[in-house]
Structure formats: C-alpha cells, structure tokens
A and B are shown apart, each in its own frame.
Chain A
Amino acid sequence: MKYGMFAMTGVAAAAMMMGGCASTPEVREVALDRAPITSKLEPQDVRRTVEKMTESLLSAPGVREAVGGTRPVLDVEPLKNRTTQHVDMVSVTDSLRMQLLRSGMFRFVDKSTSGTDIEFMDAQANLGLTDQKKAIKPGQQSAAQMYLTGALTEIKNQVGRTVDQYYKFSMTLKDLRTGELVWADEQEIRKESVKPRMGF
C-alpha cells in the first residue's frame, strides 16, 4: 500500500516536471535568415527576393543605357498581390526602395505621400505661421521619369499529405517617356511541406 502511494507520487512529480510548471512561453531572438518553418511565404523569402531584385536591377546593362550617367527620378509602385495569402506588399516595396536609394543610382519620388505634401503646403500658405518668402509653393516637385512595378503570384498543389507551394515575384522597370521596359526579372520560390501521419 505504502509502496503504491510512493509510486503514484513519483509518477505525478515526473509528469509535472515533463509538462513544465511555467505558463510563459520560451522566447528567444533568432537570425533574420532562419530556416523555413512553413510552406507559406516567410520574411527570409521576402528579404532574399528584395536583395536579388536590387542586384539584378543595378547590374543590368539596359539600366545603364537608360540611366546614362544621370540619376533618373524613380517611383516604386506597390507590388500586386495575386496570391491567397496576406502579404504586406507595401513593406516589400519600401525595402526595395530603400536598397535602391542607398545604391545612389536613382533619385526617388513617392506618389503615396503626395496627399501629405499638399497638406503641408496648404498649411504653410494658409495658417499664417510660416514666413511666406520661405513657404514651399506647389508645382516645383520633380517628375518621375521611370517607375518600378510588379506582382506576386502563387501555384499551390496538394497531393496526400504533401503541400507543394510555388511563388513568383516578377518586376519591371518602365521608362515613362518612351514607354519602354528597361528591365524585368523574376524570383521563384518553391517549398514543400509534408504533414505528419499522426496528429491534428
């Protein structure tokens, strides 16, 4: 009887130790380029795509011809998301713009913040707080000479427990004056995940 009680207490203590008493999850910082954990699009895929696209654009011979020693004004349009997943395409566009800006090959305008520009100019002209000799007047901004655009597409197949997911980022750089495509490239990503035989 006594032996049975001891055994039961021992099993209960072991179960508690194995289950863990702490309710807070273990949190640790991981590398930005971590190994994939799902077959979905992950931050490291986006980072690799942005890096590859930037390198490709900066080293393309067609871009050199179009730029021709000048620093043309460029706008980056948010990429179109044609997948079933939610992907923050504005963030992808921002990363791309940041890397191209740092290269020093282009100058940039941002159409998406034009509304804020108008608000500032309106306030400077009408609120009476700004010295009118120093106030920025509308109609002086640089015009975009080229724009960068693109899309993200996906193909998903599931056979049994295996999910095969394919993503493609495609991007083009267009000269606004001539209408010519100066550069185009794509980045393909293919991932496979296999569900376990057991479990939910």
Chain B
Amino acid sequence: MKQTNKLLSVVLLTAGLAALTGCVETAGTVVTTDHTTGSTLVLEDSTRLKDQIQVLSVNYDEVNGLKRVHITLQSAKHRRLRLNYRISWFDANGMEIDPDTKTYRNLLVEGRDTVTVTGVANSAAGVKSKLRVRGLEAAD
C-alpha cells in the first residue's frame, strides 16, 4: 500500500511538471502613452517579468512631423535578460495604425543595466503609443 502511494505521487508529480512546461506566460508589461495629453499608464501583468524589469521613465517628442517615444527600462536582475518588445501606434480615435508593420524586436539587458527603447509613429496620425514587453519564451 505504501509503495503504491509512493508510485502514485511520483506519477502525479511527473504529470504536473509535464503540464507546467507546456504553459508559457505571454502576458507582460504594457506602457501606454498619450502624446496629446502626456499621460502614461504602466500595466505589469506578469509578476515574473515585473521582478525582472521595471519602467524607469517615459519621454516623448516629435521628429519630421511624427511622434516619437523613448522608454527607459531597468533590469532588477544580476544576470543578462533576453526580452522582446513591440511599440505600436494608435490614431486619435484609438484605432491601431498598420499593426502588421510593427514587429517584436529583441532586447538584451545586461545585469542591473538600463536601456532605452525608441519608437517612431508610422504615420502623422499616430498620437498614442503602446509598448509591450514580454519574455523571450513567450515567442513561439
């Protein structure tokens, strides 16, 4: 009886581990900036990513009639972080502008370092930016 229980617990543990490896968290940190009002909203949906990287500052300006955003991120870890980020743009009505043209880019952050990511609006109509940061494992 004791041996059967032991065997059952090993089987359950193995099954649990196998199920866990199949689950990849794709939620991350989202920074939304309204360039007309200057308001910024930071949403940290992943507790794991929140412990790894933090949003330090958000700045914005305009170049050649196009809005530009600079977001500074700081690593809270001592090891190198491998992340993905994407900056998408929205018009005054909240419609996303050409979503397919904005891709996830790689981001390597050294231990305890800060990096600034920059995005330029793909059209003069872009007035709101959204940065999305996710772990590299979230990519298929």
Contact = CB atoms under 8 A, between A and B. Distances in A.
B117 to A, nearest CB: 12
Interface stretch (B8-16, B49-57, B73-81, B118-126): B118-126
Interface string B63-81: 1101010000000000000
Contacts of B66: 58-59, 103
Interface residues of A, number: 26
A33 B123 contact: no
Nearest to B104: A33
Given A59-B64, A59-B120, A99-B122, A48 B139 contact: no
Given A58-B120, A64-B64, A47 B139 contact: no
B29 interface: no
Given A58-B64, A58-B66, A59-B64, A48 B123 contact: no
Interface in B86-108: 86, 98, 100-106
Contacts of B63: 58-59, 61, 64
Contacts of B104: 31, 33, 44
A102 B103 contact: no
Contacts of B68: 59
Given A33-B104, A44-B103, A48-B103, A105 B84 contact: no
A102 B98 contact: yes
Nearest to A56: B120
Contacts of B64: 58-61, 63-64, 67, 105
B136 interface: yes
Given A59-B64, A67-B64, A104-B124, 13 more contacts: A30-B140, A33-B86, A34-B139, A35-B139, A44-B103, A48-B103, A48-B105, A51-B101, A51-B102, A51-B105, A59-B68, A64-B64, A103-B123
29 contacts: A30-B140, A31-B104, A31-B139, A32-B100, A32-B103, A33-B86, A33-B103, A33-B104, A33-B139, A35-B136, A47-B103, A48-B106, A51-B102, A51-B103, A52-B105, A54-B101, A54-B122, A55-B122, A58-B63, A59-B63, A59-B66, A60-B64, A64-B63, A99-B122, A102-B98, A102-B122, A102-B123, A104-B123, A105-B64
